[in-house]
């Protein structure tokens, strides 16, 4: 083979190798461009903002003992003499009714004893009569709404046979929940030197009792009319807790009191995703004190703002659009209060709709759900953050106008380069 032929063959092989490399480069550019076009951003856990300040100022309370307790984290957020032993009075009936609900059927009939029917001096009563047959349900409403001491005693006897034995059950339950500074001797909260609790203990008792949804329903009833009995016409009970000054964000609660200057109140509330309990003991301003603590509860409680209304949370693909990705924002501000105070257990899952251009900013295009350790907290809506017009033909395959133009330019440059290489015999 002549030298000229060998040189031409080497040049031809070199051109083929260069062309192969350029083909690979072109293919890589196309793949990278298309992949970046399809890649979507997910939820960034580091974007969550810390909230709550344990040192936030609390308005002055009149209560001698008080506690704000976070149910989510199962811990006290604010305390004032929270371990001081104080008379609970009629908030005792929260535990009485809880135990009754756990042990009796609502339609079960109770025969009122002489002991239960004997009025306590100046105490609240629903005027039960000895030998009267009345349902457990009516007694529950009578105890929780009207704060009937006789109704509470009748429930205690229906559960345990006597009020003394029922008090033993109450004390066992309190100890099981870790309440070491509480002792009950009756079912209604009548004043007794051996009948006492603390703001901290009763916050735990209130939180546990109002896990019972039926008890919450009873506590949140403003007015209830009982059935007529064998010895009485129908009775109408009105809630002491819900009457008068409104308690904010209430889920359930019960008042208690001995004099106008010595009153108690225990409530459960829900404010956003924050579930809490407030207990105030020995106060002349029980509802004012409770509302003050509920008002600052979110300021005091440590947690995280997971999503903020109007803020970006993720992206979604858009079929047929000038651009084929759009940023999505949250419709709700959702807070979480993890028990371990860490954000690692908080997750956000997205359910994005199939989106086709044109799209208007603010259009709802799916939902998102916030979870804490697999427990569902709250669901919000995903909304488009920008207007998106219809795109060129490739946008039907999720290729934006910009990417189409870029790929076209790359291919033209590649062809020009090949032509130059061929003409110069490189």
**Contact present, 63 and 88 (Cβ < 8 Å):** no
Beta partners for residue 369, in sequence order: 349, 379
| pLDDT digit string, tens, across residues 227-274 | 999 999 999 999 999 999 999 999 999 999 999 999 999 999 999 999
List own/partner pairs for 209-215 with CB under 8 A and 24 or more apart.
209/94, 209/95, 209/97, 209/98, 210/94, 210/251, 210/252, 210/268, 210/277, 212/98, 212/101, 212/102, 214/101, 214/106, 215/94, 215/97, 215/98, 215/101, 215/144, 215/252
| pLDDT digit string, tens, across residues 339-356 | 988 888 899 999 999 988
Q: Confidence class of residue 414 from pLDDT cuts 50, 70 and 90?
A: low
Distances (CA, A) of 4 to 7, 11, 329: 5, 11, 68
By residue count, the chain amounts to 426
Q: Confidence class of residue 316 from pLDDT cuts 50, 70 and 90?
A: confident
| Distance of alpha carbon 370 from alpha carbon 347, whole angstroms | 6
SS3 10: helix
Q: Is 67 left (phi over 0), alpha (psi -120 to 50) or beta?
A: beta
Whether the pLDDT of residue 223 is over 80: the answer is: yes
SS3 content of the chain, % helix, strand, coil (to 5): 35, 25, 35
State residue 383 phi and psi, 5-degree precision.
-130, 140
* Residue 320: alpha-carbon gap to chain centroid: 38
Residue with tokens 């005027």: 127
Name the CATH superfamily, with its identifier, for domain 65-301.
Answer: DD-peptidase/beta-lactamase superfamily (3.40.710.10)
Q: Confidence class of residue 220 from pLDDT cuts 50, 70 and 90?
A: very high
Better-scored residue on pLDDT, 306 or 36: 306
- The architecture of the domain spanning 17-49+306-410 is Sandwich (2.60)
Lowest mean pLDDT among 106-120, 188-202, 312-326: 312-326
| Distance of alpha carbon 226 from alpha carbon 130, whole angstroms | 18
Taking the domains of the chain in order of start, what are their residue ranges?
Answer: 17-49+306-410, 65-301
């Amino acid at each position: 083979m002549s030298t000229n032929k060998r040189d031409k063959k080497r040049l031809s092989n070199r051109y083929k190798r260069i062309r192969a490399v350029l083909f690979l480069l072109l293919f890589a550019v196309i793949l990278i461009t298309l992949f970046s076009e399809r890649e979507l951003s997910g939820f960034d856990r580091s974007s969550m903002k810390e909230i709550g300040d344990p040192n936030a100022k609390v308005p002055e309370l009149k209560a001698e003992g008080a506690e704000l307790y976070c149910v989510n984290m199962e811990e006290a957020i604010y305390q004032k003499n929270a371990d001081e032993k104080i008379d609970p009075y009629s908030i005792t009936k929260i535990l009485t009714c809880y135990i009754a609900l756990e042990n009796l059927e609502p339609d079960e009939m109770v025969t009122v004893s002489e002991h239960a029917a004997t009025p306590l001096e100046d105490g609240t009563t629903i005027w039960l009569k000895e030998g009267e047959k009345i349902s457990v349900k009516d007694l529950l409403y009578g105890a929780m709404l009207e704060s009937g001491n006789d109704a509470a005693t009748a429930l205690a006897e229906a559960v345990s046979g006597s009020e003394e034995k029922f008090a033993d059950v109450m004390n066992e339950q309190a100890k099981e929940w870790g309440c070491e500074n509480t002792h009950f001797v009756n079912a209604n909260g009548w004043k007794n030197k051996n009948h006492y609790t603390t703001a901290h203990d009763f916050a735990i008792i209130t939180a546990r009792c109002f896990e019972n949804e039926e008890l919450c329903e009873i506590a949140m009833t403003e007015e209830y009319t009982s059935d007529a009995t064998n010895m009485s016409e129908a009775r109408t009970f009105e809630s002491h807790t819900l009457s008068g000054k409104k308690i904010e964000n209430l889920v359930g609660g019960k008042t208690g009191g001995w004099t106008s200057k010595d009153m108690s109140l225990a409530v459960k509330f829900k404010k956003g995703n924050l579930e809490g309990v407030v207990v105030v003991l020995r106060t002349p301003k029980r509802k004012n004190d409770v509302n003050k603590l509920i008002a600052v509860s979110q300021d005091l409680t440590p947690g995280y703002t997971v999503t903020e209304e109007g803020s970006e949370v993720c992206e979604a693909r858009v079929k047929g659009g000038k651009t084929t990705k759009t940023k999505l924002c949250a419709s709700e501000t959702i807070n979480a209060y993890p028990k371990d105070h860490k954000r690692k257990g908080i997750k956000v899952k997205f359910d994005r709709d199939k989106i086709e251009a044109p799209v208007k900013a603010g259009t709802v295009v799916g939902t998102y759900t916030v979870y804490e350790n697999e427990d569902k907290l709250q669901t919000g809506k995903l909304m488009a953050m920008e207007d998106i017009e219809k795109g060129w033909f490739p946008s039907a395959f999720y290729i934006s106008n910009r990417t189409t133009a870029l790929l076209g330019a790359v291919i033209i440059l590649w062809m020009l380069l090949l032509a130059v290489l061929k003409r110069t015999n490189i």
